Amino acid sequence: MNRFSTSVKVGVFAIVTVIAGVFIYQFVSKKAAGTDGYVVYALMDDATGIAKHSQVRIAGIPVGQIESIRLQDGKARIDIRVRADVPLYEDAAASKVSASLLGEYFIGIAPGTEGRVQLENGDRIRTVIEAATTDEILKDVSDIAKQIKKVADSLAASIGTKEGEDNLKGTLQNLADVTDALNKTVRENRQSIKNILTNVENITRKGEPEVEKILENVRVSTKEIRELLAKGEQGEATDGEVRQIIEKVNRASNSLESALANLDTVSGRLERGEGTLGRLTKDEKLINEVEGVAENIGEFVGGLSRLQTVVGLRTDYQFLSSTVKSYVELRLQPREDKYYSIEIVNDPRGLTRFEQIDVDSTNPNDPPHYRQVRTVTTNSFRFSLQFAQRMGPFVGRFGIKESTGGVGLDTLLFQDRFELTQDLFGFGEVVLPRWRVGLGYQFVSRLWLLAGVDDILSPDRRDYFVGLQLRFNDEDLKTILPFAPGP
């Protein structure tokens, strides 16, 4: 009896599994268009990653499927069946869009301008936007890796030997000694330096009027000498005028000589090390001021040693739109309670914006003046750049979220293995902002299981997702940050 019960249980489980598999297959692989609609085609240079019967989308929404793929005139001809209720116009454009980081693609279509000639069965989409292939991206990554390797080899050649290690240790020790001596010097002479600067300022302020008077006297005397010379050439100057001018020149010369004598006295005292300023210039301890620079270098190196570079690789499956969304994130975390997040997102919805166009028409069938509102969706990558601050179990985020302004709030529980995330962004992109709520659980080390709801406020755009994320601390990435080119 027990054996029969076990067999029955296994049979029931197998039947349920088959039924569930058929249901999931029908749900995931349902076609955007059946045998109705109309067929158009496009010629592309590269059809790698595009499969027959795969979906065709407009603004991320399935509107048809690929009928066939064949070679025509050295290019890939892709026949597309579009639903009858979805019009395409003569300026429509087609492009190959990446569905994930695994090399899967689908065809994205921009329908064109409403009011222009509409495409019919058998017409061609003449505008094709060629996207970068996975091979090209991998080649760029390979070139970057080669450059990074050159930097690492140079660094290893300079300090990787025993001699280089000893030299580096000696340099750091000398730097530390210089820093300590400079700190002591500054603390011991802080008041003296302040008094010296105050005295110099007072001397400059008091001597400024005297210098101005001397310069004014020289200017007046020079002017009168020029006038006297001019009169002498014309025979109009008298002996009395000449004597007056000579006396003024003598007074100006005496004043200038006195000022130069005072300056020479001050220079002599400085040279002999007399007075506070003189002692300061003669004290060799002040040469060790370079230790301040060394201290700043030490703080910079210490900050780099504390910096954490967390890399996150994430892929989500969105149920209602049957799409895959991918993320690549880099967190720069100088302290435990804050970090900076840089993220690149491959969103099947694309980047949507609205355009308002005022049209003046001479067509008697149209109003003389009317306004068009267009929704333009591009297939470009989105990016995020956010600053995060942690307060207890809560982490607040602010900045750019998926190429729009946004804010976020995360709740971390159970030693940070459970994560509740909320994001509010997309202000102005659609009528209502985009609100996303997700749950994350780290079921094994570095691997997270994710699930949630996207675009909760928009019933026609709302979607549900599940995903996986690999999150790890890349120590090698941190070592190349000091060699990144500055602005």
Per-residue pLDDT tens for 292-349?
544 655 555 555 567 788 888 999 998 988 888 889 998 888 888 889 999 988 887 7
pTM: 0.38
Give pLDDT, residue 362. Answer: 77
Angle CA 454–456–457, to nearest 5? 140
Rounded mean pLDDT of 118-129? Answer: 88
Report the C-alpha gap between 56 and 404 in whole angstroms: 26
Least confident of 65-74, 137-146, 226-235: 226-235
Q: Which amino acid belongs to residue 141?
A: V
CB–CB of 71/77 below 8 Å?
yes
Residues ≥6 apart with Cβ < 8 Å to 147:
none
327: nearest Cα among 313, 310, 311: 313
Confidence band, pLDDT 50/70/90 cuts, at residue 406: very high
Rounded mean pLDDT of 91-114? Answer: 81
Range among 112-121, 148-157, 269-278 with highest mean pLDDT value: 112-121
Least confident of 78-92, 113-127, 252-266: 252-266
Higher pLDDT, 462 or 293: 462
Q: 307-483: which CATH architecture?
A: Beta Barrel (2.40)
Burial of 101 (0-12, 13-18, 19+ CB in 10 A): middle
474: nearest Cα among 331, 337, 342, 326: 331
Bridge-based pairing state of the strands 323-335 and 447-454:
unpaired
Burial of 250 (0-12, 13-18, 19+ CB in 10 A): exposed
**What's 35's DSSP letter?**
S
Query: Which residue spans within 257-350 are E strands per DSSP?
Result: 308-318, 323-335, 338-346
CB–CB of 285/185 below 8 Å?
yes
289: nearest Cα among 198, 191, 187: 187
Angle CA 424–427–431, to nearest 5? 110
Confidence band, pLDDT 50/70/90 cuts, at residue 451: very high
Average pLDDT of the chain is 77
Taking every pair of Cα atoms in the chain, the longest distance, rounded to a whole number of angstroms, is 148
Residues ≥6 apart with Cβ < 8 Å to 435:
422, 423, 424, 455, 456, 457
